Amino acid sequence: MSRIEERFTELRGAGRTGLVTYVTAGDPDLTRSAEIIKRLDQAGADVLEIGVPFSDPLADGPVIQRATERALAAGVTLKDVLAMLETLRPSISAPIVIFSYANPILRMGLQTFVTEARAAGVDGVLTLDMPPEEGETFRTAFDRAGIDTIFLLSPTTTVERIRRASALGSGFLYGISRLGVTGVRDTVDDSARELAQRVKSETRLPLALGFGISRPEHVRSIGQWADAAVVGSALVKVIAEHGRSAGLLDEVERYVRWLRN
Active site positions, annotated: 49, 60
Residues 173 and 209: their CA atoms lie apart, in Å, by: 9
Q: Where are the beta strands (DSSP E) in the chain?
A: 18-24, 47-51, 96-100, 124-127, 148-150, 152-153, 173-176, 207-210, 228-231
Residue 61: CB partners within 8 Å, gap ≥ 6? Answer: 180, 181, 182, 183, 233
Residues 101 and 99: their CA atoms lie apart, in Å, by: 7
Residues 116 and 241: their CA atoms lie apart, in Å, by: 32
β-bridge pairing 152-153 and 47-51: unpaired
